[in-house]
Amino acid sequence: MMNRSLKQFGEMLQTKKISSVELTQTFLARIAQHNPSINAYIALDEAKSLAQAKAADALIAAGKASPLTGIPIAQKDIFCAKDWPTTCGSKMLANFVAPYDAHVITQFDAVGAVNLGKTNMDEFAMGSSNETSYFGGVKNPWDVERVPGGSSGGSAAAVAARLCAAATGTDTGGSIRQPASLCGFSGLKPTYGVVSRYGMIAFASSLDQAGPMAKSAEDCALMMNVMAGFDERDSTSLNREKEDYTRDLAKPLQGLRVGLPKEFFAEGLDASVGKVIDEAIAAYKKLGAEIVEISLPNTGLSIPVYYVLAPAEASSNLSRYDGVRYGHRTAEYTDLMDMYCKSRAEGFGAEVKRRILIGTYVLSAGYYDAYYLKAQQIRRLIAQDFVEAFKHCDVIMGPAAPSTAFKAGEKVDDPVAMYLQDIYTISTNLAGLPGMSVPAGFSNGLPVGLQIIGNYFDEARMLNVAHQYQQVTDWHLKMPQGIE
């Protein structure tokens, strides 16, 4: 039963084959069984979840249900949820209980979905392996000695291990798509501004974007119908007409132009991962797609640009955690400055400190023009590359990650090697474009994800392209061994 789609779960609820309370209890039982070995969840509240499920059953009985009413969704612990712990994976917020709901949480509450719990994540979303969490690393359900990817590793592991029907994540430089690739499910980063960031704890405000993480493209489309929408509380939220992201799922792909950037298939890509991607491209040819070679010449600059801009924004955003108003405060201090220093030193982990230091440095007098301003100029060139590429193709495809899931601890002491995990995903965040990863096969028993990048506001087409592939393949239905 755990492999059913959101649509199938919805049909079961509507036809009274199962109640939301029973479905929620089933997932809670699976979490109790598997979470101790995977560490996907860091906050659970059975009473709250079952109360929401009971309310959802009442909506269904009254004939007021929508497609996600009564379905248990896991929420990344970066989203504030009223009366739930909201830690962002950090000691700094270990005791923080949110007094209000993020827009994303409000949207799911409005349709009667069930908040199943808060999922583990890299501290303040800074990481590519979910090893920087104050609450311990998350394990990949396909091989518990390996990482699930990050920063949305808890949501990724929960979806892969079927510890939820679907989950939310956030993507600043690939944190939905990279774990989707490493854990074998579908994850989508929308166009910047399509999903409100209100109540989503900030890492890098010009890059952060929330999105769905689910078994299939169809599931992602149903979640996007809930998550997307204008929010006046977020100054970067786009005031656009509501879309039905399921509208084009059934469209054939005849004549679709698929762009393959030569930079995505160069040195650095694991050969076995490249082989899986080649086979996926071949499947698209059979579906009627036309393959076009394109170039994104500034792709190689995306990581250095990102690691100037994102830490700069993080340095600014994280300055609010000073031990005064909320968050961790050191037990002993001599004066106000001593309290600031000790609270931040104790509250932040090593990776967060590293990025704050980098960000503060590039924003400092004498270095702003040399680093930050130059990075913003190159960011514009990266975005222009995509504008030029989309004159020749409808979607862009390639790998979501250069390798399969690596072993825990393998890259912890080499930040550059860790940062290179996002080489294929960061450029879309810098450009504000939508992108997604879908399961495309396996390499040595580990999942490989195919990345699909669309033009601005082209999520419906991307979901159509992914859905049609999933009609002729079953990679998205594969489950890790031992997770029944």
The answer to whether residue 175 is catalytic is: yes
Q: How far apart are CA 298 and CA 380, in angstroms?
A: 10
The answer to whether residue 20 is catalytic is: no
DSSP code for 261: E
DSSP three-state, residue 298: coil
CB-based burial of residue 291 (10 Å sphere; 0-12 exposed, 13-18 middle, 19+ buried)? middle
* Beta pairing class for 114-119 and 72-76: parallel
The answer to whether residue 151 is catalytic is: yes
Strand partners, 435: 189, 453
Catalytic residue among 151, 152, 186, 403: 151
Tokens read off for 479 = 């489950």
Torsion of CA 247, 464, 79, 432, to 10 degrees: -110
Which residues are CB-neighbours of 387 under 8 A, at least 6 positions away? none
Catalytic residue among 20, 76, 90, 437: 76
Q: How crowded is the C-beta side of 236, counted as CA atoms within 13 Å? A: 18
Q: How far apart are CA 13 and CA 21, in angstroms?
A: 10
Strand partners, 140: 143
Nearest residue to 263 via CA among 386, 415, 406: 386
Tokens read off for 149 = 């990817």
DSSP three-state, residue 112: coil
Q: How far apart are CA 287 and CA 275, in angstroms?
A: 19
Q: How far apart are CA 319 and CA 352, in angstroms?
A: 12
Instruction: Tell me if the bond preceding 151 is cis, omega within 30° of 0.
Output: yes
Phi and psi angles of residue 193, each rounded to the nearest 5 degrees, phi first: 100, -10
* Beta pairing class for 435-443 and 446-453: antiparallel
Catalytic residue among 133, 175, 302, 437: 175
Tokens read off for 94 = 């270990």
Q: How far apart are CA 362 and CA 314, in angstroms?
A: 12
Q: How far apart are CA 48 and CA 54, in angstroms?
A: 10
Q: How far apart are the first and last CA of the chain?
A: 9
Catalytic machinery residues: 76, 151, 175
